Amino acid sequence: MKKKSTNNKVMIIDEEIHMKESEFIVSKTDLKGCITYVNRTFMQMALFNEDQLIGFNHNVIRHPDMPKGVFKFLWMTIKKEREFFGFVKNLRSDGRYYWIFANITPEYNEHGKLSGYLSVRRTPPASAIAVIQPIYERMLQIEKAATSKKVAEEQSLAFLQQQLDNLSMEYQQFVINLFNE
């Protein structure tokens, strides 16, 4: 699929939108991360229609408060064909935001070859965001002080790892526990 790009700049509004607990945001991508499918809840939460999403990367809903390190870790995980779990603050086209707890899994074609990725997202508990938000804020500060994108990702991920070491926890166990609290 031809990669599409967008230059849309929206004015950020510090106002949260909550998704119902019974709802799921679903999307699929090819191996490069170009969106191939979105469900209705995705479009309703992000305030985009299908034409504005299919063929684009999920960075159309990337919020500037999200650290680069989180996405680096996401891609490192799924490229190894492992599933990723994580909290993501997403940007709507009206500038407001919504938090989600994402699960991304690999998808395979009929020959058993990796063909893309599937993401299912649920609404996270406020208690989880209260823990994750200050960690992301610190990661973002570290990234802003870094000399390059690569260094920014490395240093902010090192900070995240330090937090996990302090708790003697693996990343996946940490985020799943937060979601289940």
Which residues contact ligand FMN by CB under 6 A?
Answer: 27, 29, 33, 57-59, 61-62, 66, 71, 74, 88, 90, 102, 104, 117, 119
Q: List for the chain the helix, strand, coil content (%; round to 5).
A: 40, 25, 35
Nearer to ligand FMN, 28 or 166 (CB): 28
Token pair in block for residue 19: 């998704």
> Minimum Å distance from CB 160 to ligand FMN?
16
32 vs 27: CA distance, rounded Å: 14
Nearer to ligand FMN, 56 or 169 (CB): 56
Nearer to ligand FMN, 59 or 169 (CB): 59
> Minimum Å distance from CB 148 to ligand FMN?
14
Contact 92, 12 (CB under 8 A): no
Contact 42, 25 (CB under 8 A): yes
> Minimum Å distance from CB 119 to ligand FMN?
4
Nearest to 3 by CA among 59, 75, 73, 74: 59
Contact 179, 124 (CB under 8 A): yes
> Minimum Å distance from CB 110 to ligand FMN?
20
Nearer to ligand FMN, 33 or 125 (CB): 33
